[in-house]
Amino acid sequence: MLNTLSGILNIPDLRKKFMYTLGFMVLFRLGTHVPVAGVDPVKLAQIFSQGGLVGFVDLFTGGALAKFSIFAMGIIPYINASIIIQLLTVVIPQLEALAKEGESGRKQIAQYTRYLAIALAAVQSFGTAFWFRGVLLPGYSFPLFLVSSIIALTAGTALVMWIAELMTEFGIGNGASMLIFVGIVASMPSYIGSTIILIKGGASMLGLIILLVAFLAMIVAIVCVQEGQRKIQVQYAKRVVGRKVYGGQATFLPIRINQGGVIPIIFASAVLLFPATIGQFVPNDFVRGIINSLSPSGSLYMWLYFFLVFFFTYFYTAITFNPTELAENIKKYGGFVMGIRPGKPTAEYLEYVITRLTLVGATFLAVIAVVPTIVEGFTHITSFQGLGSTALLIMVGVALDLVRQIETHLVARQYEGLLA
């Protein structure tokens, strides 16, 4: 750990990336404290003191929604847009062709994602402003508030999206995941404070201990599964190029148990948040009741969350892992999997392996996603309800990914020193 920290400080490129990331985090946190005009902060605080859906949504915005700041929409519209575009890429041939065009195609798809994110942000901004009409300052014009809120919140979403992309390009880690991580960490003091209040109010200390032990066990399990991988032995034949002989060595192809990392959790949470948020604005009590059942405290939420995490784990793995292309690359460089013929048999074998591994990873993620809800219902300690499995998985997953990227930079730097 100390070597990693000293590496960050001593290597100029890595230090620059770290400072970029830190600067973008500070900018994001500053934006969460810039409020949209026209809202009474006292009435707003009363709404969020009740917890429930609004508190859960606020977790992903780092407290920006509770302050009704310009970053109140957070990164959620961008994540929803990414999900929609990735789904459309599978079913629309034109988008699929773009995805296969290389860097230019990916840039075009990224542009479509931005446009869709802005459109979704405008729709969600309208709904949020309409919902907050009851917390306006006395005498403030609602039409003016509605227009100004849509403009401010949509612009804030565009700025958050820009910050996330800059973090991904110039900083360390995935920008969208890092912003959610920062928001969750920023909410931790409030959870600790609420827990202290519950204990002072007579809540069971044993229940708190059980909850903390369950969280610790989940963290250990998440680390084990996230770092677990299946190593497939690949043998490369000797090749003679000129007077030199290349290849002839055996290596391993590592396939992670959970290829999607934390992305399936983020996707599933974003999908469930969208209808639950819309349910707050529907005047019909029956429709609102059905949609509100998708809130974190609703009856359908846990089951849908389980199946969505399972589905998105397979979906994201299918998008990011191409066994046919991998088998062709192995064959092109004179390699073969031990006991498997090159070409199509290798692709089928890799498909078989990744399907079985993904089943294990998807089942684990889906189970671990609903465990905190069950434990909280048993211990009756609800102060960490907002943190839950979603936030815990995101925190551990993003932290592991961040450490992995830092170590990759450190290893690359060491090899550069050897070659210099």
Domains and CATH numbers, the chain: 2-419 (1.10.3370.10)
Position 151 scores a pLDDT of 92
230-285 confidence digits (pLDDT tens): 888 887 766 655 566 555 677 788 888 877 777 787 777 777 766 665 655 565 56
Which DSSP category does 111 fall into? H
Give the Cα separation of 392 and 368 in Å (integer).
10
Residue of higher predicted confidence among 266 and 129: 129
Which DSSP category does 340 fall into? S
325-355 confidence digits (pLDDT tens): 888 888 877 777 877 888 888 888 888 888 8
Sequence-distant (6+) residues with CB within 8 A of 336 are 234, 235, 237, 330, 342, 346
Position 244 scores a pLDDT of 64
Least reliable range by pLDDT among 112-126, 267-281, 309-323: 267-281
Determine what percent of the chain falls in helix, strand and coil, rounding each to the nearest 5.
70, 5, 20
* Angle in degrees, CA 112, 110, 155, rounded to 5: 70
The answer on pLDDT for 221 being more than 80 is yes
CA separation, residue 154 to residues 57, 140, 177, 286, 388 (Å):
17, 21, 20, 30, 28
Q: How many of the other CB atoms lie within 10 Å of CB of 193?
A: 11
Give the Cα separation of 94 and 375 in Å (integer).
46
Least reliable range by pLDDT among 34-38, 192-196, 292-296, 326-330: 292-296
179-194 confidence digits (pLDDT tens): 888 888 877 777 777 7
Pair 254, 230: CB distance under 8 Å: yes
Residue 119 pLDDT class (50, 70, 90 cuts): very high
- In degrees and rounded to multiples of 5, residue 271 shows phi and psi of -65, -40
Average pLDDT over residues 186-209: 75
Position 159 scores a pLDDT of 92
Give the Cα separation of 51 and 384 in Å (integer).
11
Position 115 scores a pLDDT of 92
Give the Cα separation of 337 and 339 in Å (integer).
6
Residue 420 pLDDT class (50, 70, 90 cuts): very low
The answer on pLDDT for 418 being more than 60 is no
Average pLDDT over residues 310-332: 82
Residue of higher predicted confidence among 332 and 420: 332
Average pLDDT over residues 24-50: 81
